[in-house]
Amino acid sequence: MDQAVPAGSGPTVTFGSFRLIPAEHVLLENGAPVRLGHRALDILRLLVEHAGDLVTKQQLMSRVWPQTFVDEGNLKVHVAALRKALRDGQGGTRYIVNIPGRGYKFVAPVSISHEPEEPRRTATTPNNLPVQLAHVVGRSETVAAIVDLLAVERSVTIAGAGGIGKTTVAVAAAGRLLSRYPDGIWFVDLAPISSPHLVPTALAEVLGLPIRSESPTPQLVASLRDKAMLIVLDSCEHLVDAAASLAEELVRSTCVSVLATSREPLRTEGEHVLRLPSLAVPETIDDLSVAEALGYSAVQLFVDRAIACLDTFELTDHDAPIVAAICRRLDGIALAIEMAAGCVDSFSVADIARLLDDRFHLLTRGRRTALPRHQTLKATLDWSYGLLSDTERVILRRLGIFAGWFTAAAAAEVLPRDGIGAAGISDAIANLASKSLLGVDIGDRATRYRLFDTARAYALEKLADMGETDETARAHACYCRDVFTAAERDWNSRPTDEWRTTYRPLIDDLRAALDWAFTPAGDVGIGVELTVAAVPLWLELSLMEECRVRADRGLTALDQSDPDSREAMQLSAAIAWSQMYTATGTRQTSAMWARALALADRFQDSDYRLRALWGLWADAKNKGRFQDAVVTAERFSKLAAAGGQTADMLVGERMIGDSLHFLGEQAAARRHIETMLARYHAPPHRSNLVRFQFDQEITARMTLSRVLWLRGLPDQAMRMATENVDRAVRLGHTLSLCNALAQSACPIVLIVGDLQTARRYTALLADLTTRDALHVWRAYATCFEGDILLRSGDLAGGTDLLQTGVDTLRSATFVQYLTSFLGQLADGCGRAGRLGEARALIDEALARCDASDEKWCVAELLRIRGEIARLDPDAGPAEAETWFRRSLSMAQAQNAIAWELRTATSLARLGRDRDGGGEELAALASVLARFREGHATADLVAARSVLTPPA
């Protein structure tokens, strides 16, 4: 869908095919937005304002970086990016000219219009495609072919040699396909990934999907099943089997299309392979004119990149045959040509050709015909490396330690200085970028760099040859530890979006640093510290399985050296967190929380005491130990009171109220919950989501809505449950939303008989829990699906689904509300005539309640037991009445008027069928008269139907 962008009121500056609208900070080319960072646009604005005049470097830096000292290399990078975006120099058109040692001048004719701009439309298709600052040269037909292929094929692989331009072509094609995929185009860079099992995780990260399973592919498939989406898997060659497996499963089981780049085909079912050839080079070079040379895409690329490096570069008839020879020597490989062109600021074209020729003869012993493409690239890298200054060589090989994007400031922190200052590092990085050894991403906050994957492999090889790998890897790991230690501190104080934007891009470097730290040559101490500091990132990105695996490795290392350390406390809590709400994890959480609490007591750490007590309370409740839950909640409250933090004390009130609800003490539960809600103010930046997993207000309202229903206030309960879902949706926190749906909204809308809303909420819960691999809550959704079928008259289908959900909850030992589901299943089996199964199920539910002191639903279970007896010819009305009387007594003792109404209805129906039921009907009428709301809900409608004589 497109949306209108309001026109600005300022002037419009036109030059060439471009329009600059300064008031909107927008640059358009032929009406389409040009993607540039705001600093590059600021430079353009200042140059255009002074078109034809010199603008000094100092003027530019003062305008773009006011009150901030930056190295001149930053300006050089941004000007180079701007030139690439403008395609400065192509076709003889010049825009920006460098005045050596002084500054820059905008030399193209400009026209200024003060007429209002027409509203424009911008595409809103979601995507994360990399910004292509450079013009794509010589690939228009290939890009068009890929666009056409993806109209009929769902699996396309661009195969070709390293450095040939596969990624450039894939991104260009994907950019032209945005309107075709309403659910987005998502670029997954596999180059930094070293482990095959992280391939689906990398896709999940890009999509923002939590990972809570050792095998995330099934949940990815479930989440993407109906999505009209294109996934771009880039640089698959080193993980080809894992990438192929993921791509094949996506294409087979979803509507997603996959565009992959690899040095070899993935060999998946239905794959269409497009082999990317080299750029076109002249067959003969003698007497080649400029016009003839520029007819070949390889020469076009050389000239394009040469101008970006040196704005005064101009291809002449004298140099045209030499450039053609360089391109032939480099086999038309795009990256190699870019690196050669990047030397024009230091060498003449003839010198580049001579030096390149010497290098190739040395490497191949004069056998030009024996030079495969991968050797060509290796030779070019060797040649480019040899042309660098000593400082640039040192910095290039050490930059290889970065697995992802980095800033010049990060490089200055990691790289041993060896007498090179931060300014020298920054300047060297700018030079490496201009020589096409580094990719550049110019964002609004900072300029980021990244070694191309081939260049990074080369840099790491050189790093090893020089014996510098461990020293540099240690510095990198220490840097990551310090960064994520700061991130851990920031988590509670910075806005979530800002925090995530800052630290999420560092996930690849985090993984690389951890992988090194736990090798024999690494440093386990640094690894443990980094693991602890990284827990917030894994939790924020919902990478629960990765968190569990990494934390478990760190804790195993500590068990051998310092098992009673503060880090062991923190990692125990992280493991317990990551295990909750999965089918396999709930059995192991108690031990981890207990260990965390013991260590928190030892260190007198109040924060982790509260976290661990919350975890033990939740675990006890999840496993049906409700008396233990009350004791733990009270202990939490006392500790919170001693700490004097009002928010923590009110969380304790909520925990006590929730526990009392399960124990059947609804009046007391309501008091505690309402006290909490009346005084609680959520921390501004979700810190209690960090400590206690859920939004505390949402969770409190969830419990209160159930209490209100039990107390005979169904309309209020319904309003609170539905408003709570809306709150959770706005919050954007999956765990809180699933909790509100599973334990409040879904059961309440079912109880009141709103099947339409029940279907909608249950579908939402099923989607969220399937996508996020929340196995326990997915079982809840299955039970609700079964209950909906039962209430719709499908007894066989309903009991089958309920049985499946109940079996999952039993195996997970997660028993919150399991007794209620057992009761519904027993009721369904009884109505289906399967009385033996019904009795066994209801007896199991009652036995569970007796063992755990779970009393909140005992009255309803006793009523269902009576209904089963009423249907059983071997039991009869007398036994049914006994069960009903016990149910009524329990409901009255708890003042649970909702259960009392249900049981009074069953008794009245039994009495009416037996002897007219005058006494029972009067009792039902008396209960019904106590309701002041909810007259359209299912139970009240059923009660009135019993009281109404048949026509």
136 and 106 part of one domain: no
Encode 372-394 in three state secondary structure.
CHHHHHHHHHHHHHHHCCHHHHH
CA distance 803 to 786: 8
Closest CA to 769 of 780, 760, 783, 759: 780
187 and 327 part of one domain: no
Pairing of strands 120-123, 2-5: antiparallel
Given 244, 275, 306, the domain boundary residue is 275
Angle between helices 897-915 and 858-871 (to 10 degrees): 20
In-domain check, residue 463: yes
pLDDT at 835: 94
CA distance 415 to 389: 16
In-domain check, residue 689: no
91 and 146 part of one domain: no
Given 364, 387, 410, the domain boundary residue is 387
6 and 86 part of one domain: yes
pLDDT at 916: 78
Q: pLDDT tens digits for 834-858?
A: 999 999 999 999 999 999 889 999 9
pLDDT at 119: 46
Closest CA to 264 of 272, 255, 253, 273: 273
Which segments of the chain have a pLDDT < 70?
A: 1-10, 35, 67-71, 90-92, 115-124, 131-135, 212-213, 358-375, 417-418, 443-445, 581-587, 682-694, 771-774, 950-951
170 and 219 part of one domain: yes
* Phi/psi at 198 (5° precision): -90, 0
200 and 331 part of one domain: no
pLDDT at 790: 95
- CATH number assigned to the domain comprising residue 56: 1.10.10.10
- CATH number assigned to the domain comprising residue 152: 3.40.50.300
Coil, strand or helix at 26:
strand
346 and 375 part of one domain: yes
Count Cα neighbours of 543 within 13 Å in the Cβ-side half-sphere. 24
Q: Look-up: residue for tokens 């074209």?
A: 349
Q: Do 921 and 946 touch, CB atoms closer than 8 A?
A: yes
In-domain check, residue 299: yes
Domain count within the chain: 5
In-domain check, residue 893: no
399 and 352 part of one domain: no
518 and 498 part of one domain: yes
173 and 224 part of one domain: yes
497 and 383 part of one domain: no
Given 413, 435, 467, the domain boundary residue is 467
CA distance 426 to 417: 12
In-domain check, residue 569: yes
In-domain check, residue 361: yes
pLDDT at 387: 82
In-domain check, residue 663: no
In-domain check, residue 869: no
pLDDT at 694: 67
Closest CA to 275 of 288, 262, 284, 285: 262
pLDDT at 86: 82
pLDDT at 164: 85
164 and 271 part of one domain: yes
Name the residue range of residue 524's domain. Answer: 468-588
